[in-house]
Structure 1
Amino acid sequence: MRKAENMNAPWLGGWVLGAAAGLVAFGVLVIVGKFDLFPAGALAVVVAAAAGLVLGMPWGAQGPALPVTPLKAAAKPAASAEPVAAAATPAAFVAVPEAAPAPAAKPAAKAAAKPKAAKAKADGPERLTAPRKGRADDLKEIEGIGPAMEKLVNELGFYHFDQIAGWSDADVAWVDANMKTFKGRIVRDKWVAQAKIIVNEGLEAFRERAKTNNY
């Protein structure tokens, strides 16, 4: 307590509290208010001087209760920062669940389309990738098929008499369209009729009939 005879003299404690208020103001301005150091320092000096005048001079000698008010005022900006952080938190969770599963359906649809294309190419008569049991018939027995023609027919997938004997008119047209050369020979030389005789009557009977072109 100040003595009665010093009531009209300046109070040193008031200036100390004023300096403390200036430091608190400086911290609030820099940390909460984001002030630069120089403006914050200038304002802090003003606050310290004002508080010192109020508390240190004789009219402020009744008690140092006033510095409490700046401390409470300084606490309010800190509280306002919390809602900002809280508001930012839900945004972080919104972006996570929205990604990947949908594109998985597209490859399945593309894969399903391929077998249809493969079936569309399966036209024409029955064809083989190689002769049965590794041994082809001598297709040159048929009149009109020489070595070059036999090689061409083999390349198309025909190695046996029964394959040619089973050709329909549509099959004949398909083979003729896919032959590089000698087009029209199948019908003109009666390949299908000759092959049917070989399959049904045997090769020897066919050779006898071939002497008179009895197809």
Structure 2
Amino acid sequence: MNDTMAAAANQTSLLAGSSYGLLTGIHLGLMLVFAVLVIIAIGYGVRLKRRRVQADKEVAENAAEAGVPTQPAAEPGDSLPADARSAETPAAAQGVPRAAAPEPTRFVPVDTRDDEPGDRDDDHAEPIVAAAPLTASPAAEAASHPAPARASGPADGPVTQLKGLGPKVTARLAELGITTVGQIAALSDDQAEALDAELGSFRGRMARDRWIEQARFLAAGDRAGFESVFGKL
């Protein structure tokens, strides 16, 4: 009788140990699955945040090119209206540094007149001989008749015809003396690189939007070729 009870007790202990081990394994498996799901969710959240930051950056660049100020997102607890905030910081809303206007060159007049007669030594003064009348030189005659105005051609078209030029880029090019497509089309590689370095926050746009290639089509008057590559004007 005692042996039977001992065997039953041993069997019960074995069953309890097996059940406990099974439950422990299930718990560990569930914890592992939950940890994997958490890692996946974190990675997905990081990707979404990167996409959102990149999208905001592209929107800000496009708005800056078009000259439209971007409105920052409202901060929690901010009691000021959006119009008041944009009025307080117009430069910060645009997010684009303003290029300083070049200082105009100052010319100092040079006095080319001879010394006054009173400053000369009267003892050594020479008599003034009347000069013989001079005939007008061919250069003087040509200067008196203005040259006829040069007829404008396709190369004299404004740079605003180029795709990808907003008002701010156009204004910066005008400050640098670039106003026609012919000037862009005539740039060498070194000149294009030097001009691109002067564009500030718009650096790299010349190569990305293929300004020189566009300008060469337009300067040559090849509108059909331009539209076949870059779309309708």
TM-score normalised according to structure 1 size: 0.33
- Structure index of larger Rg: 1
**Larger RCO, structures 1/2 (Cα 8 Å, 6+ apart):** 2
TM-score normalised according to structure 2 size: 0.31
